[in-house]
């Protein structure tokens, strides 16, 4: 529906979004490690680190050769695997555009906890709705959905650049874009059912992200954009000279 490109929303409490950058690096590293090797090795990685509802809810048992981590750990490990470079790229773009301001509002450590809890909530709701599914769930979409929900609550009036339909550049308020995106996730969950995309994981992340940002944000951090801080790089700080009317005498400038 849209691709986020940039938001003019300065950081207020942190200098660098270390956790956001670290999560992007970790996801990229895990992706390339997961696609290296033979087809059997790739399958073992997906089965071993992906979240499988039937295993988590004791409807099935994972073969020993695929038991790479405890089942409880897959509520997190699944979010660092992606199906292809486009799946990875889309999630990381959302994380880059929106993650820094959520990290700014929560703080580094709490943002990391927030991210992981949103991922876990996405997996849990996916498994709750499809408890007998033996298809492994992979991707950071649950965590990213939580970040989108938190950003909408924190900064609905910030204008962001997006590519609508992957073609048309637009600069519009965040609440329009993100509310439409969130609404689409709930709509698709209702109508699509057992689809190739886990809409339930998205909705689980959204619900968790919306709840956590209210509890985990820094003391004094307001909601709903009471004050928008634009980065200095895009501010006009020096007034432009006015055009001198025709026939007016030149203005002398003294130092």
Q: What is the mean pLDDT of each run of 10 residues along the chain (255 residues)?
A: 84 94 97 90 94 95 91 96 94 96 96 98 96 94 97 94 82 92 93 80 97 94 73 46 50 42
Q: How far is CA 13 from CA 103, 128, 191, in A?
A: 9, 37, 41
Q: What is the pLDDT of residue 196?
A: 77
Q: What is the pLDDT of residue 193?
A: 65
Q: What is the pLDDT of residue 143?
A: 97
Q: Are 136 and 84 contacting, i.e. CB atoms less than 8 angstroms apart? A: no
Look at the alpha carbons of 122, 123, 125, 129 in this order and tell me if their dihedral is positive or negative: positive
Question: If we measure between CA atoms, which residue out of 33, 68, 71 comes closest to residue 48?
Answer: 68
Q: Where are the domains of the chain?
A: 2-222
Spatial separation of the C-alpha atoms in residues 246 and 177, rounded to whole Å: 47
Q: What is the pLDDT of residue 236?
A: 41
Q: What is the pLDDT of residue 17?
A: 95
Domain 2-222 fold: Rhomboid-like fold (1.20.1540)
H runs (alpha helix) in the chain: 18-34, 39-49, 53-56, 74-77, 85-106, 108-129, 141-154, 174-192, 199-216
């Amino acid at each position: 529906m849209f691709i986020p490109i940039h938001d003019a929303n300065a950081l207020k409490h942190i200098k660098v979004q270390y956790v956001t950058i670290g999560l992007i690096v970790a996801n990229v590293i895990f992706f390339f490690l997961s696609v290296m090797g033979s087809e059997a090795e790739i399958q073992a990685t997906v089965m071993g680190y992906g979240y499988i509802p039937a295993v988590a809810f004791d409807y099935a048992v994972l073969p020993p050769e695929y038991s790479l981590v405890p089942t409880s750990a897959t509520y997190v490990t699944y979010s660092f695997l992606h199906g292809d470079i486009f799946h990875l790229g889309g999630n990381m773009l959302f994380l880059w555009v929106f993650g820094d301001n959520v990290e700014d509002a929560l703080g580094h450590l709490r943002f990391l906890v927030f991210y992981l809890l949103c991922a876990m909530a996405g997996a849990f709701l996916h498994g709750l709705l499809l408890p007998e599914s033996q298809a492994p769930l992979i991707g950071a979409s649950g965590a990213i959905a939580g970040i989108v929900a938190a950003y909408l609550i924190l900064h609905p009036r910030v204008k962001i650049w997006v590519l609508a339909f992957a073609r048309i550049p637009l600069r519009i308020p965040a609440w329009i874009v993100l509310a439409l995106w969130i609404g689409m996730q709930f709509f698709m969950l209702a109508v699509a059912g057992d689809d190739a995309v886990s809409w339930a994981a998205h909705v689980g992340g959204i619900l968790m992200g919306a709840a956590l940002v209210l509890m985990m944000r820094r003391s004094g951090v307001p909601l709903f954009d009471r004050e928008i801080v634009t980065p200095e790089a895009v501010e006009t700080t020096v007034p432009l000279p006015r055009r001198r009317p025709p026939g007016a005498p030149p203005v002398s400038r003294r130092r």
